[in-house]
Structure 1
């Protein structure tokens, strides 16, 4: 006769095999055979949905591009874009660190020489719901997004995604992102640390995170931004003093004189520039009147979304400036709205009632809770022993290097390696300082989306971060 303990063991074994079998089937269903217009590649791709809230029908869309070699040995990196409300598929995957770039017509792809999946398995997440292909069956969710719910949903996503891809359980995990992901990344890291402490058998092996041009502290960021405008000759002395005297950046609310001074600077003194990259040409499509470009043009003046990218037309000639193309966001919107692309990526399976866009204006305008300062969270995560790097492209005027440095200075950290220039090849890639618990680096000549403007320098930064080594001095 079988003992009861043996019977329970057999039942448990059967259930475990069933769960693993189901997860394997889901992972196999998510495999991307080939994207339309894709060149040949030597790595696996997966994409699809993970349900994060059954009651309200919230589901997040992901795209995994595995490493080009020895993927089973390399870490997992979760990439998040900010906004809030902007797509990691549009920006991180298609303009910055992903393996592909989209051609001008949106008809095909070409390879990115400095893709980060040369060093790691990269998982792009469109978060929160309402961003890109991520959706909710409860329409009111779109007007109730905020920091806390975004972090909670992202944690649930990771837990359930790793059930679907168990080979990534216990794998070294790093989180990366930029801009408003200066909130998303450390907030999710804090959730993971708490989850691991509360779990009898934690399996999310978070090692650290890296964020670029990161929104960090409302007070210091705001003062540092205005300082950048003035020191880079974007505004007059008069406007600078007007903003400083009329704005109380430590207050969560603004005054009319403050708003008027900032509005005057943007509308009368900045000129027609790309605020996310002040020394490169802006996209001429922003002045076009066709319906295709209307939403692109409408958001260009006020920096509420990630980089404006494109091409500069001079007469009948088309100029590319060192490979930088200031209208790439438009190419992404052409490509990912193609039905055959969505089918290949297992996307838009519910038939969402709106076009795929790089950013969601609804989320940007209705964001509910936003943590005033991330500095206390940084202190908690440094105490938890995570590897933390912050980098800053130095030609971004939206979340500029001066803002980031001012925020970091108020952490009052001990310097381990004093300020020095770091190199890629024989050129200065930027400057860096290593503190106890945190590394800061600038990237010379890069705008808001650092890997798009300076891909080689960003790739060196990423390799050094993964290795846990200071940036090269020569």
Structure 2
């Protein structure tokens, strides 16, 4: 008899838990998003509180795959900065199904990555976008370790809300400073899976990072070499940096500072993130980049770093900011429930301190390669900020043996970029003609790259 009542109790408990999960899911369902084109897939947005004892909550926007979501992998997209929004950039400007088209609304992205996967866009850390903390001290303690821990806590909470996705193959992707976020989170998941109970296991299979900050010293040297090889800086500036700058040292000489100012000055009139793109001219005083809240410590002493123009649309950032500051949009997304004291910005205006940022994440990448994860690194080759030269120098530091030699890969009968495969599971691919945000300028090629990454198939080696 006791067994019967015990079984009944657990059945009722499980039914109650399932009902609560369904209620929370439905509460996060987005139904009346202003300007949204009609679609058949579902999407959800809202907050996941990280820990009971804290007042932190991260905001997410989740899109089910356009077809057969129960059979598609699950991908988490993270953006960089640190301090920039994966929703403002990734979801609304690059690879999400709804792109902010102008001051009035959204357009359907024919090359959205949710054509082949279920995708979560996460605003992280707290202070970014709609993600918040009610403890101002939290904003002074942000860094790589806190971000990784909070992102992991988010995933544990998110899977409790969406348990049907727990068994799906799980991947992480991101760009820019997500070159830190993604491997660090993957490492926490990998270690957590060793000791976790069955209910908290995350089915991590790999990750993909683009134009990624991964090794400080080679990232800087590659940036200098790229600017010279693309005729942005003069021989005088290039050789002046070469002779006078030792980036291994914390404090650079006055001579180095002079030539570095020449370097940054050369980029003042163009977009360092996409060197052949126009810049937004709506503001006659010029645009100021907010894509980097915190520069690498090797460059923080150069004030000009924070006054570089940025473009693409080239005014898309203005439209995105206006759209997400619309109260009807926030209501539809179940966002800004605490009524933040500051407006929505593409990159955080409240994060002023970054407490830890290791010079390199190459050892983490190597560790996860050894653990058998699938890892792809890609590079849009018109990015001057984390250019293809930086990424090649950084990968070379790992000393990996080449498995499949450098070759062209194709999309729609044209060369889409070049690719090399290394022993141990690392693939490096370039995307021809794309800047820092690859899906903006090469949407079809980026979707092809993403699709091949998920399937672990080689990129096309011929035109036909």
Residue equivalent to 1:124: 121
Aligned to 1:350: 338
CA offsets, 1:364-394, max 9 Å, x none?
x411100110110011100111000000000
SS in 2 for 1:83: coil
Would you say the 8 A contact 1:213–1:391 is kept in 2?
A: yes
Quote the Cα distance in structure 2 between the aligned partners of 1:133 and 1:306. Answer: 26
Provide TM-score, normalisation by structure 1: 0.91
3-state SS of 1:284 partner: coil
Cα distance in structure 1, aligned partners of 2:221 and 2:6 = 63
Which residue in the other structure is 1:318 paired with?
Answer: none
Alignment-derived partner of residue 452 in structure 1: 440
| CA distance in structure 2 between the aligned counterparts of 1:342 and 1:189, rounded to whole angstroms | 31
- Give the Cα–Cα distance (whole angstroms) in 2 for the partners of residues 28 and 297 of structure 1: 34
1:411 maps to 398
Q: Kindly state the Cα deviation for residue 252 of structure 1 after the two structures are TM-superposed.
A: 5.0
Aligned partner of 1:377 in structure 2 is 364
Report the Cα offset of residue 326 of structure 1: 1.2
Question: Match for 2:329 among 341, 358, 372?
Answer: 341
Name the SS of the counterpart of 1:72 in structure 2: helix
Instruction: Number of aligned residue pairs: give it.
Output: 451
Structure 1 residue 452 displacement after superposition = 0.4
1:167 is aligned to: 164
In structure 1, C-alpha distance between the alignment counterparts of 2:74 and 2:143, rounded to whole Å: 26
| Distance apart, 1:209 and its partner CA | 0.4
Q: Per-residue CA shift, 1:213-240, capped at 9, x if unaligned?
A: 0001011111111111111111112211
More displaced 10-residue stretch of structure 1: 410-419 or 388-397? 410-419
- Of 119, 140, 143 in structure 2, the residue corresponding to residue 143 of structure 1 is 140
* Equivalent residues of 1:303, 1:398 under 8 A apart: no
Matches within 5 A, 1:212-223: 212-223=210-221
Q: Within 1, Cα distance between the matches of 2:277 and 2:173?
A: 25
Match of 2:86 in 1: 88
Q: 1:321 matched to which residue of 2? A: none
TM-score by length of 2: 0.93
RMSD of aligned residue pairs (Cα, Å): 2.1
1:414-454 deviation per Cα after TM superposition (whole angstroms, max 9, x unaligned): 21111000000111000000112200000000000000011
Q: 1:8 Cα shift?
A: 4.0
Give, in whole Å, the separation in 1 of the partners of 2:310 and 2:386: 14
For structure 1, the residue ranges without an aligned partner over 5 or more in a row are 311-324
Counterpart CA distance in 2 for 1:139 and 1:228 is 40
Which residue is 1:314 aligned to?
Answer: none
